[in-house]
Amino acid sequence: MSEPELPPDLKDAVRFHGHFCPGLAIGYRASKVALERLGAQRAKDEELVAIVENDSCSADGVQWVSGCTFGKGNFFFRDYGKQVFTFALRPTGRAVRLALKPTEERPPLPEDDRATLADQMLNAPAESLFTVTELVIELPKAASICSSVRCERCGEPVMSTRTRNVNGRTLCIPCAQRQEQTAEK
């Protein structure tokens, strides 16, 4: 089977993700549509945020194309198990929400036929794949950088907002959990 010729940015996304699959294609296309609707560029900083309602392959397509990444703090994972993606601009909250249509209401995205998958994902009209809604959302909090303190049990530096006070000692979360487990016994 001949490999489909993919646009360079999709090739890069495939390299990042490791393989070309329907999920990656969904995240890729959803992000492209969103950037276009919002008139936005790939995020350099936190001016664009993505809220992704699943942790499947599509999340990598989103991170690669939109520049909203886990590490930058402008990628928000909501564990809802839905192929729904919301992209929003700071500071206005102007957003676009894309919900992948149910299988029976959209063109097929075959896992085993990469040419068809690529063709559908790149060329099918956005509205045939997704329900697209423009809206204004309440933005998630921006990433904050906090100073670190040392955990009084393991001695490792830990962000001050992620410590727990256990019997007057400032502990990191794993140490606090271990302490509680030991105390229960």
The H or E element containing residue 84 is strand 84-89
Q: Which of 21, 26, 89, 121 binds Zn ion (CB under 5 A)?
A: 21
Q: Which of 154, 162, 165, 180 binds Zn ion (CB under 5 A)?
A: 154
**How does DSSP classify residue 21?**
-
Q: How near is the Cβ of 139 to Zn ion at its closest, in Å?
A: 29
Residue 175 interacts with Zn ion (CB under 5 A)?
yes
Residue 52 interacts with Zn ion (CB under 5 A)?
no
**For the residues of 115-181, what is the DSSP string, one character each?**
HHHHHHHHHS-HHHHEEEEEEE-PPPPPP----EEE-TTT--EEEGGGEEEETTEEEEHHHHHHHHH
The H or E element containing residue 32 is helix 22-38
Query: Among residues 116 and 140, whose Cβ is nearest to Zn ion?
Result: 116
Residue 153 interacts with Zn ion (CB under 5 A)?
yes
Give the footprint of Zn ion on residues 107-136 (CB under 5 A): none
Query: Among residues 10 and 21, whose Cβ is nearest to Zn ion?
Result: 21
Q: Which of 6, 40, 49, 57 binds Zn ion (CB under 5 A)?
A: 57
Query: Among residues 74 and 163, whose Cβ is nearest to Zn ion?
Result: 163
Helix pair 8-17, 58-66: axis angle to 10 deg: 130
3-state class (DSSP) for residue 24: helix
Binding site for Zn ion (CB under 5 A): 21, 23-24, 57, 151, 153-154, 172, 175
